[in-house]
Amino acid sequence: MFGQIMSRLVLITGGTRGIGAAISREFHNKGYRVVATYSNNKDAALKFRTNTGIATIQFDVSDEKACFDGIKHITDEHGIIDILVHNAGITADSTIRKMTSNDWHSVIHTNLDSCFYLTQAVLEGMIQRNFGRLIYVSSVNGLKGQRGQSNYAASKAALVGFAKSVALEMATKGITANVIAPGYVDTEMVRAVPEAVLAKIISTIPVGRLGTAEEIAYCVSFLADERAGFVTGAILSANGGMY
């Protein structure tokens, strides 16, 4: 059993920065083989690879062909992907009255369409093996809504319906599909919120602080574990009590 865990291959999208980087490190430290994708920030990815020894690959998750080519490249090089952690996501915050068509579409393409492309691309390998873990990183704001995030909240809420449906289709094939819904975590994305607004938000978190990326990474590793095979179609909230 231990040998099997050691050999599992994990793909983490957006895995070189923020929550994704902590998830990559968590799996790497536990002995999994890890590949982390990145999109634009090549310097950060290079630094991450040098510091951690974790393999990285650049592709745009909002592009269907790039996803299929990227997954094929990883599979040719490393073998079948056992665990997909789809973490890559963007914000383009704006109140609904001011939101542009580009704010809407860019967020939906990157956060949601990507989910369909990546899941299809990894699924056949998982079915062959009769084992798989699909983990989608949603958000507390996808569950409760947030001012300025109708696009982001819509994309993150949609991951729930997607995961629950895939969970049903894959239930007898050893493949689970779950959602983790982090609250406000201390990352560049959250630090980009206007300071006064962020202070107001933090005052509504019952534990009284932002989460850490490592706290989210630990939850993801739980969902990926071989022993978590009875957990599927679930939402694991890690939000400091912010419901």
Query: 117 an active-site residue?
Result: no
Residue 59 neighbours by CB under 8 Å, 6+ apart: 37, 39, 66, 67, 69, 70
Query: Which of 38, 48, 131, 184 touches ligand CAA by CB under 6 A?
Result: 184
Catalytic annotation, pick one of 32, 38, 117, 152: 152
Indicate whether 106 belongs to the interface with ligand CAA (CB under 6 A): no
Binding-residue total with ligand CAA (CB under 6 A):
21
Query: Which of 26, 93, 103, 113 touches ligand CAA by CB under 6 A?
Result: 93
Indicate whether 91 belongs to the interface with ligand CAA (CB under 6 A): yes
Query: Which of 31, 161, 194, 208 touches ligand CAA by CB under 6 A?
Result: 194
Segment 122-161, which members bind ligand CAA (CB under 6 A)? 139-141, 146-149, 152
Task: Give residue for tokens 């490393």.
Answer: 78
Query: Which of 52, 58, 94, 106 touches ligand CAA by CB under 6 A?
Result: 94
Closer CB to ligand CAA, residue 1 or residue 196?
A: 196
Closer CB to ligand CAA, residue 65 or residue 191?
A: 191
Indicate whether 103 belongs to the interface with ligand CAA (CB under 6 A): no
Closer CB to ligand CAA, residue 12 or residue 55?
A: 12
DSSP labels, the chain: -HHHHHH-EEEETTTTSHHHHHHHHHHHHTT-EEEEEESS-HHHHHHHHHHH--EEEE--TT-HHHHHHHHHHHHHHH----EEEE---------TTT--HHHHHHHHIIIIIHHHHHHHHHHHHHHHHT-EEEEEE--HHHHH--TT-HHHHHHHHHHHHHHHHHHHHHTTTTEEEEEEEE-SBSSHHHHTS-HHHHHHHHTT-TTSS-B-HHHHHHHHHHHHSGGGTT--S-EEEESTT--
Indicate whether 228 belongs to the interface with ligand CAA (CB under 6 A): no
Distance CA 207, CA 204 (A): 9
Indicate whether 200 belongs to the interface with ligand CAA (CB under 6 A): yes
Which positions from 7 to 46 touch ligand CAA by CB under 6 A, shown as an x/- string?
----------------------------------------
Under the rule (CB under 6 A), what is the footprint of ligand CAA? Answer: 91, 93-95, 139-141, 146-149, 152, 184, 189-190, 193-194, 196-197, 200-201
Q: Hey, which residues are catalytic here?
A: 152
